[in-house]
Chain A
Amino acid sequence: MHIEIEFTQKPIARPQEWVVPCQPETGALVEFFGIVRETEGTEKIASLQYEAYASMAEKVMREKIALLEKQHPCQAIRIVHRLGLVPKGESAIYVGIQSRHRQAGFLLLQEFMDEFKKDVPIWKIK
């Protein structure tokens, strides 16, 4: 599976431009934008600060993808995580998945995000 992983200090563009566009056999493009809410717990916030151990974060993501794609074969995945200050209403993460059929894309996205939240060394700091 083709993998694109980026860390950026800049706003995550909507829509996203992929390095590798959809292929002739791509039947589904499943996308997720994670957005900074106005509240963190019970506290109103203007922004969140994100920090990463970037090299380990990329390694862990690639390991997760390698395991998950055995169950949910897809064609490509693109992950962009913003670092530094992210104002409320803006995206902290983008995950896009290209697949032949929608089910594999939906399942890979759901399970990847669950694993991401457990193990990928990125932190938000209020």
Chain B
Amino acid sequence: MRVFFFAQSREAAGCDEYQLEVAKPVAQAEFWRILVAELPKLTSFQKTARLARHETYLHIDELLNPDDEIAVIPPVSGG
């Protein structure tokens, strides 16, 4: 799974994108557990960031698939 970071989440992750190894579809809580274990500085984003796939926000109960491209969207502040 490729994970893309923006704004403050990119600064915390230290990279634009990250390859996360998952073998099967995972719930979002499990996604965060795996991601934060590898990139601990993203811990605070678990509660504030939203996830998007194909440029669409995910509902909380949607699963993430191993071949997904997932964007981590910190709280927005444009305008």
Interface centre among B55, B56, B74, B79, by most A CB within 10 Å?
B79
> Nearest A residue to B4 by beta-carbon distance?
A53
Which B residues, 23 to 74, have Cβ-Cβ distances below 8 Å to chain A?
52, 55-57, 71, 73-74
> Nearest B residue to A119 by beta-carbon distance?
B76
A107 an interface residue at 8 Å Cβ cutoff? no
Bound CA span A60–B6, Å: 16
The size class of the interface chain B forms with chain A is 10 to 19
> Nearest A residue to B10 by beta-carbon distance?
A51
The size class of the interface chain A forms with chain B is 20 to 34
Contact of B76 among A55, A92, A122 (CB under 8 A): A122
Bound CA span A34–B78, Å: 10
Count: A-B pairs, CB below 8 Å: 58
A70 an interface residue at 8 Å Cβ cutoff? no
Contact of B79 among A55, A56, A122 (CB under 8 A): A122
> Nearest A residue to B55 by beta-carbon distance?
A56
A121 and B8: CB pair below 8 A?
Answer: no
Contact of A122 among B8, B57, B77 (CB under 8 A): B77
Closest 6 CB pairs of A and B: A122-B78, A123-B7, A56-B55, A93-B79, A124-B77, A59-B55
B interface list, Cβ under 8 A from A: 6-8, 52, 55-57, 71, 73-74, 76-79
Besides A93-B78, A116-B78, A124-B78, 7 other CB < 8 A contacts? A50-B78, A56-B55, A59-B56, A120-B79, A122-B79, A123-B8, A123-B76
A interface list, Cβ under 8 A from B: 34, 50-53, 55-57, 59-60, 81, 92-93, 113, 116-125
